[in-house]
Amino acid sequence: MKIGNSLRGRFLAAGLLLGLLLLAMVLYSQSLLQQTARSGFVSIEQSQTLQDSAQQFVWALQQAESQLYHLIVTADRASRDRLATRLDVMVERAHALRSHPAVTANDRYSGHAAELVQLAEQLRTSAAGLAEVSARVETRYPAIPIVLGDLYPTSQTLLEALQLSLAEAEQNDMGEMRLLLLDLRHAWIQQLMQTRLFFANRFGVYGTPQESMQRNLSDRRLFLAQVNHYFAQLEQYEKAGRLGFQQSEALPVMRQAAENYERGFRRAATIYRSYGWRTDLPLLTNKVEPLLRETWSAAQRLSDATSATLRSGIVDAMGTAQLLGHSLWLFAGLFVLLLISGYYVFERFIRHPLMQVARALEAEGRGEEATLPPAQAAETQLLVRAFEGMRRQVRSRQSRLELILDNAHDGVITFDREGVIETFNQAAEILFGVPAGEAIGHNVRQLVPELSDPETLVGWNGPDACDTLTGELMEEPIFTAHRHDGSRFSLSVKVGALNLEGRRLYTALVADVSERQSLLRRLQRLAMHDSLTGVYNRHSFQEELKRVVERAARGGHAYSLLYIDLDNFKYVNDTFGHQAGDRVLVEVTALLRQRMRKGDLIARLGGDEFAVLLYESGEEQGVLAAEGYRQLLADYTLHHEGSAVDVGCSIGIASLGEEGLGAEELVARADLACHIAKRKGRNCCHLYHEEDRQDSATVSSDMGQKRCIVEAIEKDLFVLERQPIVDAADSELLGYEVLIRCDDGKGGLIMPSGFLPSAERFNLAAAIDRWVIERTVSLAIAEPDNTLFSINLSAHSLSDAGLPKFITRLLDRTGIAPSRLMFEITETAAIGDLGATAALVSLLRTLGCRTAIDNFGAGYSSFAYLRHLPVDYIKLDGALIRQMQQDPVMHTIARSIIDIAAATGRRTIAEQVETAAEQRMLIDMRVDYLQGYHTGRPEPLWPKTDRASAPEILLYS
């Protein structure tokens, strides 16, 4: 280094007049300073690179450890491959750390690095062994080979021999023997169920493993005792010569199979109740995790050694500086003259460059670009290089932060109190179509004009935020934002505030919710319209009818209501199935829409009933319009699989003027007129007149219907059928839904649609419900103890205060377990009187009965009311099941219902599953149970009795 380029040289030049006495001291001091600076710089540089290599190894070790615990949870091939890759990276970086120049030059480092490499390789070997054990179920769970190889074949052998014996008993009409064999099969299956529950509870499926497993063992011993008891009876029959040939051959086979099964179970149970029921966890705990801890400790020791070396270098430098200070004190007097004469040199070549570096540091802190002048002194050059290194590190961290922000899914915008944008990430650029350079410095209100007061949005937590006062969900704030091209879109904004250097700043997370808003609008439309036909549903029609009645009462307006009931729809549904019936409804709706005036309203009230509201239409216009609709549907024919059916319709007409009718009264008049049109022979129209209420034929018919229903209740003329409900995963039977029919006195059955509407009109629905409950309980006594029976409750039963007492007395009298009864309440009835429904559900659950919401999803109601109804099951509406294959929205709604039910601890049952494709889709959506023609058709709950003397009940709709 040239003397002229050092502080020493400049001080000598300025203090040349002080003499040669200062020369030796200055040379010594300069040499000592240069040596200290060089050694310190080299030490810092090597330590920095060594720490970087150590940090890379720590990162690789963290990745390998994280993937190791992920493998314990998933145990799939992808997890094993990722673990192997990350272990190789960890070992590779350990070797790279050992070969680092700073390590090879320092024995203290090399020992720690060699230990780290050895531990990393051991960890890779142990973790690979753990992955190999976890790769196969047989190695991870030692008892699985016993279950699959011994227990399952042995049980199958016993059941096959038992089935052969049953077949021989049925063939030879051996009634007593058949019952004994059936009891044996039931006891053996119950023992199998407890065995499976024992294995499942090892995983904590139904509670604490030890308590649940002990309970399963106790229950299993009871059923096993029954099996042995039945075997003893069979052996007595064998000794008495009462067994058939096949039964004699099967008895020792079954006996031996049961003994082999019990020995195998004991071996498996011993393993499942031991610590080694899983081999991967002990291997992880006893071998892999200790190696992990040792590896982390070795890495820490290497880091401590590096830090100690750095501290040692600093101490040496401080010692050298102290020595230099003592020397300088000796020549303090001489330095006074040197400082005076060298002030100019110090000011120009030292203070001024240092001030420039300080200003550059201050500018860098503000985020401004700082340029340093060329340094002339070696020490200043070292300081400049240190500054440049610091600036590179700061900017590298800033670049990583900007990279994280730019890769965020949501836009991130930072602005001050006045709305001036300070940061604008890449997602925000894409969202608004504005480059960050153009957005920064401008007001955020140019992009989101409605964002006038961000302080009101501070602390918003999104759509899941809840009002602490009301407990209701808060509405998410949605704004209208502007893109650079002038287009507008819906924007959700979540704002957070922070105080930085005395300034109030806001960070806004913004996201485009246009698609979500569109989906919500579509769901709102579905809530107002019938999902199948697309016209208004009953709820929307009733709301509009209330407004129409109010307008008519104010005068100046006349309306007509057409009540349309399809004549042969029930025949189509019963003959060709629900899909053909749905097709009829869709095609009839299209015909009605073609004829409907632009300002009129059409709605589907339910089933095959439609209503058309004619605006500014008197009686004469209403009759003409009804006749047009009737003729239109009279010309319509359904063609299905080579068959043709004329559907036709009956139409009731009611007129509305200023007479002050209520909406219910208007609908009742139109409904009554429609019934009169049907009694006239169908395929005709009838205008309501006041004389219709006095019509003796109408009154007689209505009273006749009431008498028939009362007589059917009193004389047990109703018929119960049951339809199975099966587990979606393994098709095991959960129970049955009880379905009511009525004997028509001619050997046929009347479906519920033929008599339940009349029963509800005469307030007899609750009596029918009690009849069904009592008959179901009396018949369920003869069924297996775990069979579930699901009973539908009408809307009238929701307000029946005596129903819980009636059920309690019935359960006490019969002794049947309350958990075998489940009561279904339709979604529409539940929403219609939510308070009564919640009270009834709570009372039923208190009794121990199960509860369910039926036809859920039919009205696309809000899920919010579910929290008020603590039901056990949710039954998806059949119309939703049929449409979800063709309509993605219906598919989304069905999946949402299933997910919400699972999240709230409820089980789901899919109704009207008629095809294998529907079943596969529902299984993929993780529905719990299935019900429909595909899984089981309705069958009589008990043999049909002779009802030849029953009165004829003409209640067809």
Q: Which ranges of 799-887 does DSSP label H, i.e. alpha helix?
A: 803-814, 827-832, 834-847, 878-883
Q: Which ranges of 440-530 does DSSP label H, i.e. alpha helix?
A: 514-528
DSSP strand pairing (643-646 vs 411-416): unpaired
Distance, CA of 116 to CA of 295 (rounded, Å): 6
> What's the DSSP call for residue 764?
-
Say if residues 761 and 698 touch (Cβ distance below 8 Å). Answer: no
CA angle 877, 883, 887 (to 5 degrees): 130
**Residue 624: closest CA among 614, 610, 611, 634:** 614
Identity (one letter) of the amino acid at 905? G
Distance, CA of 145 to CA of 139 (rounded, Å): 9
Tokens of 856: 């859920």
DSSP strand pairing (503-512 vs 488-500): antiparallel
Q: What 3-state class would DSSP assign to 685?
A: strand
Say if residues 6 and 377 touch (Cβ distance below 8 Å). Answer: yes
From the list 600, 608, 743, 800, the catalytic residue is 608
Say if residues 792 and 824 touch (Cβ distance below 8 Å). Answer: yes
Cα 35 to chain centroid distance, Å, stands at 67
Identity (one letter) of the amino acid at 43? S
Distance, CA of 656 to CA of 772 (rounded, Å): 41
Residue 114, CA distances (Å) to 87, 123, 288 in order: 17, 14, 20
Q: What 3-state class would DSSP assign to 743?
A: strand
Q: What 3-state class would DSSP assign to 726?
A: strand
Identity (one letter) of the amino acid at 458? V
Say if residues 619 and 597 touch (Cβ distance below 8 Å). Answer: no
Distance, CA of 770 to CA of 823 (rounded, Å): 12
Q: What 3-state class would DSSP assign to 126?
A: helix
Q: Classify residue 651 by burial, with Cβ atoms within 10 Å: 0-12, 13-18, 19+.
A: buried
Residue 725 region by backbone torsions, left for phi larger than 0, else alpha for psi between -120 and 50, else beta: beta
Tokens of 225: 């005792």
Tokens of 924: 């993929």
Distance, CA of 183 to CA of 243 (rounded, Å): 16
Measured in degrees and rounded to the nearest 5, phi and psi for residue 730 equal -130, 10
Q: What is the 3-state secondary structure (H, E, C) of 134-201?
A: HHCHHHHCCCHHHHHHHHHHHHHHHHHHHHHHHHHHHHCCCHHHHHHHHHHHHHHHHHHHHHHHHHHH
Distance, CA of 550 to CA of 471 (rounded, Å): 35
Tokens of 715: 């004389």
Tokens of 184: 């044996």
Measured in degrees and rounded to the nearest 5, phi and psi for residue 716 equal 55, 50
928 is catalytic: no
Say if residues 734 and 850 touch (Cβ distance below 8 Å). Answer: no
> What's the DSSP call for residue 4?
G
Distance, CA of 603 to CA of 561 (rounded, Å): 11
DSSP strand pairing (939-940 vs 929-930): unpaired
Q: Which residues are catalytic?
A: 608
